[in-house]
């Protein structure tokens, strides 16, 4: 019996002959049918090249026969080409692409659900790529296109969460806008698509700080709540997204009315979301964040206690390995750290460190939130060192702060603060042990994160960044790094 490669070569030769002559008879010969059946037995699920070859054989054969055989050949071609489309195969029959895209939607939906519940990058890359292929293949005006655009937006935002690549977030916003614009008023899915648009715009605001994005996010989220009926099972999710956007605008503007409205919306969402619901953890996290923000504004300890209770319930409601668990643990750790600062209860600080460490451990390398979570961990560890004197905590804080700087892209708005945190932790170690460890190496490593490579304005006391450093050099140079990393900074010579 011929092996797989021999069978593929034989069928490819027949296919080439058909394409060259327009005569399909080589594919109708009994030998061709035998080669096809033998190859189908040998091919595995991942043998896309082989399945695509069989798809083309069926496609050309269906054009040469009639009746029920024609229907059977077309069905076989569609089945094999659909598997190829899902797997990313190219060079498929152009007339079939819209139908192949429609047939791929169930697989794409399952893949997206897996990606959203996974912390790893591979499922989300595959999901985003497949949804992009589907949207590209579906013509404008197709009734399903708005929903497909909305799913593409969700997949692209999830990919941004893993990679931090702003282009993914911009593409997600474009797809979400297109989905809303193509969905008429009164359509049962309009509220969900509006809420999705608000979520994407909020994520972009959190990355870029653009006020037009947060205002548009609130407008879309409010429209989603207003559009949804009281019986809509997703209305609680829309209320949660609205609350998160209002809380984010409060953080920018300080308008307490936004924060009060956020908490009211989030409390209504929490009350409407039953225990065990897949969205309950996210709703409780958003509520905890808003209550913590109000504590910071008003100093009312009851708000902080309620925030911690909500965030702890969120962490408990979110299964291990779920992509949102890291966020729940991070916000719980931050709130516990804040309560320690208020009450001095060391048990809260220990719990904060444990929660923040678990959040950092749950965040894959390269994830857009990795740097922030490492920075939060470093801050809590430094606080504990100052209260217990444990040098192990200080060393671990410095490791976390250095990793946070390394993971922060040049030009990121948080880079300056993370450089400042690292410099401060290193200075604390100098004050504690009386020496600087490889200062020029650390400085060069950190300066590589700053876009300006010419060291314009570098304090003269830093010299060539080699040899013996004085403490004042260390302080001055890390201050220079942090200031230079600030968005919009224009360095000037000494």
What the chain holds in terms of domains, given with CATH numbers, is 4-14+24-92 (no CATH), 189-314 (1.25.40.10)
* DSSP letter, residue 409: P
| Contact of 221 with 238, CB cutoff 8 Å | yes
- Residue identified by tokens 């197709």 is 142
For the chain, residues with pLDDT lower than 50 are 451-467, 469, 488-494
CA distances to 62, 428, 437, 477 from 471, rounded to whole Å, are: 81, 11, 12, 10
Check residue 197 and give its pLDDT.
97
* Of 184, 181, 177, the residue nearest 156 (C-alpha): 177
- Residue identified by tokens 């698509």 is 193
Tokens standing for 334?
């931050």
Cβ atoms within 10 Å of 411's Cβ, excluding its own: 11
Q: Which string of b and e fits 336-359 if b means at least 16 CB within 10 Å?
A: bbbbbeeeeeeebbebbbebbbbb
| Alpha carbons 260 and 246: distance in angstroms, whole number | 9
Check residue 85 and give its pLDDT.
95
Q: Which residues, 6+ apart, have CB-to-CB distance to 318 below 8 Å?
A: 281, 324, 325, 328
Check residue 385 and give its pLDDT.
97
Residues in the chain: 494
Check residue 448 and give its pLDDT.
56
Record the pTM: 0.72
| Contact of 318 with 281, CB cutoff 8 Å | yes
| Alpha carbons 114 and 318: distance in angstroms, whole number | 15
Check residue 458 and give its pLDDT.
44
Check residue 453 and give its pLDDT.
43
- Residue identified by tokens 């559009």 is 227
Give residue-wise pLDDT tens across range 88-120: 988 999 999 999 999 999 999 999 998 887 766
| Alpha carbons 162 and 376: distance in angstroms, whole number | 19
Residue 74 CA, chain-centre distance (Å), reads 39
Say what the alpha-carbon torsion angle 59, 60, 66, 71 is, to the nearest 10 degrees: -10
């Amino acid at each position: 019996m011929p092996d797989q490669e021999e069978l593929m070569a034989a069928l490819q030769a027949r296919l080439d002959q058909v394409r060259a002559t327009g005569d399909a008879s080589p594919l109708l010969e009994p030998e061709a049918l035998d080669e096809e059946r033998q190859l189908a037995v040998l091919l595995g699920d991942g043998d896309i090249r082989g399945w695509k070859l069989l798809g083309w054989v069926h496609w050309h054969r269906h054009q040469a026969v009639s009746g029920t055989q024609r229907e059977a050949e077309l069905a076989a071609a569609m089945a094999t080409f659909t598997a190829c489309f899902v797997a990313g195969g190219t060079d498929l029959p152009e007339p079939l692409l819209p139908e192949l895209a429609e047939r791929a939607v169930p697989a794409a939906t399952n893949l997206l659900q897996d990606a959203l519940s996974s912390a790893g990058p591979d499922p989300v890359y595959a999901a985003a790529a497949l949804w992009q292929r589907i949207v590209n293949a579906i013509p404008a005006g197709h009734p399903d296109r708005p929903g497909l655009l909305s799913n593409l937006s969700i997949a692209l935002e999830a990919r941004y969460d893993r990679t931090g690549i702003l282009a993914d977030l911009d593409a997600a916003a474009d797809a979400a806008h297109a989905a809303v614009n193509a969905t008429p008023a009164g359509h049962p899915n309009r509220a969900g698509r509006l809420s999705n648009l608000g979520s994407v715009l909020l994520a972009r605001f959190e990355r870029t700080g653009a006020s037009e994005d947060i205002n548009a996010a609130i407008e879309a989220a409010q429209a989603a709540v207003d559009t949804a009926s009281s019986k809509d099972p997703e209305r609680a999710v829309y209320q949660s997204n609205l609350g998160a956007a209002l809380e984010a605008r409060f953080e920018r503007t300080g308008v307490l009315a936004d924060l009060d409205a956020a908490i009211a919306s989030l409390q209504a969402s929490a009350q409407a979301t039953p225990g065990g619901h897949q969205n309950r953890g996210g709703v409780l996290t958003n509520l905890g964040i808003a209550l913590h923000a109000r504590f910071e504004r008003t100093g009312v300890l009851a708000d902080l206690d309620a925030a911690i209770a909500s965030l702890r319930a969120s962490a408990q409601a979110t299964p291990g390995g779920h992509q949102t668990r890291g966020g729940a643990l991070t916000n719980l750790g931050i709130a516990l750290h804040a309560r320690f600062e208020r009450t001095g209860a060391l048990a809260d600080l220990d719990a904060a460190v444990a929660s923040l460490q678990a959040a950092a451990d749950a965040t894959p390398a390269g994830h857009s939130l990795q740097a922030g979570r490492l920075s939060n961990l470093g801050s809590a560890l430094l606080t504990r060192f100052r209260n217990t004197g444990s040098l192990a905590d200080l060393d671990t804080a410095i490791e976390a702060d250095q990793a946070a700087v390394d993971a922060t892209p040049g030009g990121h708005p948080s880079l300056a603060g993370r450089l400042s945190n690292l410099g401060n932790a290193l200075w604390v170690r100098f004050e504690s042990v009386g020496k600087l460890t490889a200062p020029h190496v650390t400085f060069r490593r950190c300066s590589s994160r700053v876009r300006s490579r010419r060291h314009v304005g570098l304090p003269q006391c830093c010299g060539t960044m080699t040899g013996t450093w004085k403490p004042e050099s260390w302080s001055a140079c890390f201050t220079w790094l942090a200031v230079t990393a600030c968005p919009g900074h224009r360095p000037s010579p000494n």
